[in-house]
Amino acid sequence: MSDEVVLYSSPMSRGRVVHWMLEEAGAPYRYEMVDLETRAHKDPAYLAVNPMGKVPAIVHRGVVVTECGAICAHIADAFPAARLAPPVGSPERGAYYRWIFFGATCVEPAVIDRMLARPEVSRPSALSYGSYEDAVATLEAALRPGPFLLGQHFTAADVYVGSQVGFGLMVKALEPRPVFQAYLARVQERPAYKRFMEKNDQLLAKMKKAG
């Protein structure tokens, strides 16, 4: 069975996270464009891959994986030579899982709610992240020691959380604290990030030309 990862995505979507992750992993992959403008994500052919009609999704070794955090974790384990995840059973593995899931359940929803100016709820405990202030303070405390979430070891958690920090700062839904700005600068200096950005720009240009 081929080890190629098939990535269904759009260059203007959360699929950018997975695209970067694939470059970090050095994984063989094929990019299948899903044009959100033409609603290709709702075509029956794509719904057969992901019934949610969302991108990104991957197919790897005959298995469909959706949700950015899950995809990043899968790729890290599938391509261990890149050392993007602590070994199973190591003390760092728990912290690694913690920050990936924190990114999914706290950072992203807090940033999106702030970006959309959603009204505050009367029961913050009902939200996955509690309050925006708590989520941001926890993220800052996690990143302050540096250089990465697990200290010196860059992992898939940094790809995932780093992407969210970048998005949050771009849309001004995450406070531009020095810790966040310095962390983002570090992860965006990585060669794999630069390769991803170059390829993403090419895909975006191709999509616009086709439209």
Domains 5-83+192-210 and 91-190 equal at CATH topology level: no
159-164: average pLDDT: 98
For residue 1, is pLDDT > 60?
A: no
| Per-residue confidence (pLDDT) for residue 52, from 0 to 100 | 97
For position 120, what pLDDT does the model report? Answer: 82
Asked whether the beta carbons of 150 and 86 are under 8 A apart, the reply is yes
Q: Where are the domains of the chain?
A: 5-83+192-210, 91-190
Residues 6 or more apart whose Cβ sits within 8 Å of residue 173: 111, 112, 114, 115
Return the closest-CA partner of residue 11 out of 42, 40, 39, 32: 32
Q: What is the pLDDT of residue 211?
A: 65
Q: Going by CATH, does the domain composed of 91-190 fall within 2.30.30.30? A: no
Residue 122: its pLDDT value, please? Answer: 74
Which residue shows structure tokens 């974790």?
73
State the CB neighbour count (10 A cutoff) for residue 68: 25
Domain boundaries 5-83+192-210, corresponding CATH code: 3.40.30.10
Count of C-beta atoms within a 10 Å radius of residue 156? 26
Q: What is the pLDDT of residues 98-131, one digit of tens each?
A: 999 999 999 999 999 999 999 887 788 888 999 9
Buried b (16+ CB within 10 A) or exposed e, 124-146: eeebebeebeebbebbeebbeee
